[in-house]
Chains A and B, each alone.
Chain A
């Protein structure tokens, strides 16, 4: 079966760095997505990785290793507004999105 694993909840301190991991087992691979979802709001797109390596976008970076079936989302200089759920999703060989259950990130002052 197809599976995406990510931690259920993480806590970090304002101003610090946090890494949210995502491991996957899917039938084929056409890219990995990260979305951010604040409580009561729509998920919004953060990043897309299809090749190995690190993609940096401001305070957020996303890393992919296809051979390991692994990705992480790195958030630097954490702000209180970064408190949200972070959803990892992989597009399989049929271009279907397989979703993780999301990681709830709590930022403390």
Chain B
């Protein structure tokens, strides 16, 4: 139990579907992150939010759309995805952004795009 909860844990969708991933942190942290984890590849940072404002978007395709309604919740909206988007999507939080500090990860949402 890391204090970061992600739902759903598994998701299968077609290329024309629209779905959303949800992340909730109970740690009182100010920064939240979306990462993509593919087999045998480094973690790829997708989005960073600090105090509910997006501070970084690492050139992620527009078919991924993040939303941060408050400091405890983070969503990743998915639409018209491609099979190469199949991966584990990890949410993380930290006390602050732009400073050394431990990341607390959720267990991830395993996404399969058919």
Contact = CB atoms under 8 A, between A and B. Distances in A.
A60 interface: no
Given A48-B102, A95-B100, A42 B107 contact: yes
Interface in B31-57: 40-43, 45
B108 A101 contact: no
B105 A97 contact: no
B42 A42 contact: no
Contact of A99 (B40, B42, B104): B42
A101 B2 contact: no
A97 to B, nearest CB: 7
A86 B60 CA distance: 26
> Which of B42, B45, B90, B99 has the largest number of chain A CB atoms within 10 A?
B42
A99 B43 contact: yes
B90 A31 contact: no
Interface string A37-65: 00011111100101000000000000000
Contacts of B2: 42, 44
Contacts of A87: 43
Nearest to A50: B100
Contacts of B43: 87, 89, 97, 99
A18 interface: no
Interface of B: 2, 4, 40-43, 45, 90, 97-100, 102-108
Interface of A: 4, 8, 30-31, 33, 35, 40-45, 48, 50, 87, 89, 91, 94-102
9 contacts: A4-B42, A8-B40, A31-B100, A42-B2, A42-B108, A45-B103, A95-B98, A96-B45, A99-B42
